C-alpha cells in the first residue's frame, strides 16, 4: 500500500472513505474548542449520539408503564437480551444461539471457568499468555486456588522469546503439545492488551483440542476490532466487554459465546440463576434449575436494560457499517499510522513499535515503546488535544478506530511526533 506523508493525501483518503459519515454519529471530546484527536477507543469507545435517545426511550417506558415494560413494546425487557443476539453474533462470528449479553466481563469469565475448567487427575493445568490482562490473571489464580491447586503449579504462562515482544504461534502450539496430558484448559486473550498482538485463535483452539483440552478467549480487545469466526474456529467459549471498540459506555455490559455443541448439555456444571432458567416456566417459581438452550442458559439475573440500550444503539452502527468494511478501513488506517512512525527514522533505542507488522496479527492498536521520557511525551500529547493511553512502564497505546477516526487524525498525530523528535 502506497502512503504519503502529506495533509492533502490524508484528506483525499478521508474524502474517498465510504465509512466517513459514521464519525458524525459520535460525540468527539473537545480541546480548546476543537475536536480532539481521540486515539483511545481501545480503552473507552466514544459515545454514539443515538445512545442517549436509546436510554431515554427506556426511561420513558419505565415512567409510563412501570413493571409492564417487561412485556410490551417493540423490545420488551423480558426478552431484551434476545434482541441483541443477532447483531452480536455478526460481530464475533457466531450463531445467535451461541451468544448472550449479560453481566460484565470478569463475572462472565468466572461463570465460564466454572463450566469449562474441570480439573481431574493429572489434567489440571491452564495455559495462558505471560502478561495477560491483570483481571484475567486474577480470575485464573482464584479459580485454580478454588480447586485446591497452587497457581505457580497449575498455571503455565507462554512468554515471548528472548529479545522479542510478541508470541510466535509455533511456540504456543509447541508448549500446548508439551503439556498436553496435563492441560485442562487453554485460556488466552484474543488480542494482548499491552502489545496489541492478535493471536491465531483458530490454530490455538485446534492445538488445545488435539491434546484433549478445552479452549476459551477473552476478547476485550478483539470484539469490534478484528475479524472473528468463533463458531468456525470451534472455540469452546469466549467473553468480552463492550465499552472499548464496541462503544457501549463506561462499565458497560458484557458478551458471552458458548459453542452450540453445549447448547443442550444440561449436565454441564454451571452457577445458575433464574434468568437462565427455562423461560416458559420461569414464573412458576419452582425448584430445580432447567437451563435455557444455548448461551442464554448461563444468565443469572434480569437484563441490565439501560446499559443494554446503549449497547443496542452501538450494535446498530456496526450492522450498518459491516465488520468486513470496518476491518478493511482499520487495516489501512493502522498501516498509515505505522508508515508515519517509520518516517520519523528513530532508532529502536528511542522509539520502537512492539505490535506485529503483519496486518493479520494486529488490530487497530499500535503500541509505541518510548525508551526515554515516555511519560513526558504522553503528557505533552494529552495537553495538546491527543487522547491516548499510557501503560507502565513505558508504552503509549495508539488506536485509530475505523468508525470515527480519520486519516487526518492519524496525520496530525504523526506531525506532532515528528516535531517532538526533531527538537
The residues, ordered by sequence, that sit 6+ positions from 251 with a Cβ below 8 Å of its Cβ are 104, 243, 307
Last residue of a domain, one of 319, 351, 373: 319
Q: How many residues does the chain have?
A: 423
Residues 81 and 225 reside in one and the same domain? yes
Identify whether 49 is part of a domain. Answer: no
Closest CA to 248 of 109, 387, 398, 91: 91
Residues 71 and 192 reside in one and the same domain? yes
Identify whether 146 is part of a domain. Answer: yes
Residues 247 and 336 reside in one and the same domain? no
Query: What is the chain's mean pLDDT, rounded?
Result: 97
Please classify residue 211 by burial: count the beta carbons closer than 10 Å to its beta carbon, then call 0-12 exposed, 13-18 middle and 19+ buried.
middle
**185 within 8 A of 212, measured Cβ to Cβ:** no
Q: Is the pLDDT of residue 399 over 80?
A: yes
Q: What is the pLDDT of residue 368?
A: 98
**262 within 8 A of 293, measured Cβ to Cβ:** no
Q: Residue 174: pLDDT band by 50, 70, 90 thresholds?
A: very high
How is residue 14 written as a grid cell? Answer: 478521508
Domain extent, residue 138, equals 55-319
The percent of residues in the chain predicted with pLDDT above 90, rounded, is 97
Identify whether 48 is part of a domain. Answer: no
pLDDT digits (tens, 9 = 90+) for 331-381: 999 999 999 999 999 999 999 999 999 999 999 999 999 999 999 999 999
Residues 258 and 341 reside in one and the same domain? no
Residues 73 and 175 reside in one and the same domain? yes
Q: Is the pLDDT of residue 1 over 80?
A: no
**138 within 8 A of 293, measured Cβ to Cβ:** no
| Cα(203)–Cα(399) distance, integer angstroms | 26
Residues 201 and 308 reside in one and the same domain? yes
Identify whether 344 is part of a domain. Answer: yes
Residues 300 and 326 reside in one and the same domain? no
The percent of residues in the chain predicted with pLDDT above 70, rounded, is 100
Identify whether 121 is part of a domain. Answer: yes
Count structural domains, the chain. Answer: 2
Q: Residue 267: pLDDT band by 50, 70, 90 thresholds?
A: confident
**333 within 8 A of 407, measured Cβ to Cβ:** yes
Residues 256 and 133 reside in one and the same domain? yes
Task: Determine which helix (DSSP H) or strand (DSSP E) holds 49, and give its type and residue range.
Answer: helix 49-65
Q: Is the pLDDT of residue 298 over 80?
A: yes
Last residue of a domain, one of 319, 341, 364: 319
Residues 144 and 254 reside in one and the same domain? yes
Residues 193 and 121 reside in one and the same domain? yes
Last residue of a domain, one of 319, 345, 373: 319
| Cα(401)–Cα(418) distance, integer angstroms | 22
Q: Is the pLDDT of residue 237 over 90?
A: yes
Query: CATH number of the domain that 395 lies in?
Result: 3.90.1150.10
pLDDT digits (tens, 9 = 90+) for 49-67: 999 999 999 999 999 999 9
Average pLDDT on 303-315 reads 97
| Cα(102)–Cα(389) distance, integer angstroms | 27
The residues, ordered by sequence, that sit 6+ positions from 146 with a Cβ below 8 Å of its Cβ are none
Residues 96 and 214 reside in one and the same domain? yes
Q: What is the pLDDT of residue 73?
A: 86
Average pLDDT on 112-136 reads 97
Identify whether 2 is part of a domain. Answer: no
Query: CATH number of the domain that 94 lies in?
Result: 3.40.640.10
Average pLDDT on 186-210 reads 98
Identify whether 215 is part of a domain. Answer: yes
Q: What is the pLDDT of residue 422?
A: 84
Identify whether 102 is part of a domain. Answer: yes
Residues 35 and 66 reside in one and the same domain? no
Amino acid at each position: 500500500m502506497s502512503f504519503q506523508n502529506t495533509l492533502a493525501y490524508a484528506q483525499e483518503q478521508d474524502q474517498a472513505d465510504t465509512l466517513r459519515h459514521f464519525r458524525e454519529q459520535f460525540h468527539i471530546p473537545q480541546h480548546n474548542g476543537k475536536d480532539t484527536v481521540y486515539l483511545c477507543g481501545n480503552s473507552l469507545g466514544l459515545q454514539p449520539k443515538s445512545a442517549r435517545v436509546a436510554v431515554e426511550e427506556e426511561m420513558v417506558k419505565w415512567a409510563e408503564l412501570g413493571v409492564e415494560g417487561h412485556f410490551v413494546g417493540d423490545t420488551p425487557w423480558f426478552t431484551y437480551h434476545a434482541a441483541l443476539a443477532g447483531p452480536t453474533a455478526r460481530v464475533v462470528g457466531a450463531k445467535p444461539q451461541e451468544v448472550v449479553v449479560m453481566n460484565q466481563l470478569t463475572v462472565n469469565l468466572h461463570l465460564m471457568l466454572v463450566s469449562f475448567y474441570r480439573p481431574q487427575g493429572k489434567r489440571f493445568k491452564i495455559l495462558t499468555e505471560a502478561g495477560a490482562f491483570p483481571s484475567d490473571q486474577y480470575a485464573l489464580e482464584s479459580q485454580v486456588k478454588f480447586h485446591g491447586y497452587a497457581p505457580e503449579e497449575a498455571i503455565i504462562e507462554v512468554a515471548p522469546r528472548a529479545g522479542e515482544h510478541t508470541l510466535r504461534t509455533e511456540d504456543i502450539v509447541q508448549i500446548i503439545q508439551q503439556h498436553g496430558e496435563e492441560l485442562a484448559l487453554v485460556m488466552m486473550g484474543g488480542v494482548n492488551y499491552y502489545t496489541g498482538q492478535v493471536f491465531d485463535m483458530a490454530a490455538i483452539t485446534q492445538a488445545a483440542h488435539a491434546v484433549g483440552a478445552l479452549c476459551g478467549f477473552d476478547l476485550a480487545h478483539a470484539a469490534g476490532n478484528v475479524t472473528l469466526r468463533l463458531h468456525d474456529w470451534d472455540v469452546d467459549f469466549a467473553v468480552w466487554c463492550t465499552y472499548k471498540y464496541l462503544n457501549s459506555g463506561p462499565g458497560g455490559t458484557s458478551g458471552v459465546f458458548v459453542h452450540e455443541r453445549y447448547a443442550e448439555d444440561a449436565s454441564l456444571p454451571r452457577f445458575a440463576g433464574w434468568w437462565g432458567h427455562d423461560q416458559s416456566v420461569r414464573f412458576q417459581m419452582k425448584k430445580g434449575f432447567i437451563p435455557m438452550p444455548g448461551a442464554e442458559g448461563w444468565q443469572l439475573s434480569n437484563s441490565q436494560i439501560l446499559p443494554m440500550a446503549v449497547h443496542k444503539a452501538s450494535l446498530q452502527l456496526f450492522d450498518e457499517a459491516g465488520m468486513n468494511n470496518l476491518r478493511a478501513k482499520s487495516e489501512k488506517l493502522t498501516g498509515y499510522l505505522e508508515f508515519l512512525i517509520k518516517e520519523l527514522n528513530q532508532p529502536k533505542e528511542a522509539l520502537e513499535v512492539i505490535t506485529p507488522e503483519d496486518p493479520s496479527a494486529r488490530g487497530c492498536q499500535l503500541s509505541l515503546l518510548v525508551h526515554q521520557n515516555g511519560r513526558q511525551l504522553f503528557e505533552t500529547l494529552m495537553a495538546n488535544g491527543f487522547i491516548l493511553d499510557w501503560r507502565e512502564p513505558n508504552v503509549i497505546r495508539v488506536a485509530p478506530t475505523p468508525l470515527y477516526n480519520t486519516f487526518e487524525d492519524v496525520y496530525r498525530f504523526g506531525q506532532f511526533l515528528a516535531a517532538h523528535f526533531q527538537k
